Amino acid sequence: MVIEYYSASEIGPRKTNEDYVDCWRTSSDGVVACIADGLGGMGGGDVASKIAINIFKASLDDKVVDIESMRGAAISAHKAILEEQKSNISSRMASTLTALYLDDQGIIGVHCGDSRAVIARGNGIKRLTKDHSEGQRLFDANKLSKEEFYNYPRKHILESALGQHKDPVIDSIKFDLALGDRVILTTDGVYNSVYLKKMRYFCDVSQTPKSLVNNVFDLVRDSKPSDNYSMIALYVE
């Protein structure tokens, strides 16, 4: 099983890119993929997303990558952002973090916030993460219909992120992996423009991870985005 990957991040119409991505191959020939979307404004969002991923990566160095070590790395990133707030102009900086580890055994990962991970297999596509947002919570509690959810003005208000002044909700991810799978991580700048059905189509017509990202980004640009947009594509061959 060979895992190929490609990642990219675009500033879009914003003055600052508050998204950050990273991918790396481990000594055991697995791949870690991380995506983060910073928030807080006043220069804080871009700092928070970089801290989230850089500290996460450093915390995994020389460790066996498993759910426990990934959760510990996410908590270390959370604490590092809180510490940075003491000296940064933006004391409200925070960041999402979605991180996956892929190897012959499958997918494991951690997730906090509203960046997303999905897997395309066969003719289907499935989300591996659930948004930690006000809108998602109300929808899950049957307090919003599907139509009300799409039009809810506060649906993207985050209720958990690394760096917030409460313990973050960090979901664990575990899923199998098969030849031909396409695993995709995105920030909201992508998935607000490219819905799952369209992403499934792009997986079918894109022969490489790079071509998938390029095809998706072309559509995002055509949709006149209002935010930064970032994506990681991983192909299992």
Contact (CB, 8 A) for 187 and 145: no
Which pLDDT band, with edges at 50, 70 and 90, does 233 fall under?
very high
pLDDT value at position 99?
98
Strands 182-186 and 116-121: antiparallel
Give helix 44-60 / helix 67-85 axis angle, nearest 10°.
140
pLDDT tens readout for residues 80-117: 999 999 887 666 899 999 999 999 999 999 999 999 99
pLDDT tens readout for residues 127-166: 999 999 888 889 889 888 878 877 888 877 889 999 998 9
* Residue 184 predicted with pLDDT over 90: yes
User: If DSSP codes are grouped into helix, strand and coil, which group holds residue 93?
Assistant: coil
pLDDT value at position 150?
79
Angle at 5 between CA 71 and CA 17, to 5 degrees: 70
Q: Domain limits of the chain?
A: 3-236
pLDDT value at position 136?
86
pLDDT value at position 47?
93
CATH architecture for residues 3-236: 4-Layer Sandwich (3.60)
Please report the beta strands in 40-192, taking only residues with DSSP state E, as ranges in sequence order: 94-95, 97-103, 106-112, 116-121, 124-127, 171-175, 182-186
pLDDT tens readout for residues 19-78: 999 999 998 889 999 999 999 765 689 999 999 999 999 999 989 999 999 999 999 999
Contact (CB, 8 A) for 21 and 53: yes
Residues 6+ apart with CB under 8 A from 219: 193, 194, 198, 202
Q: Which residue has the tokens 């760096």?
A: 163
Q: Which residue has the tokens 């998204």?
A: 19
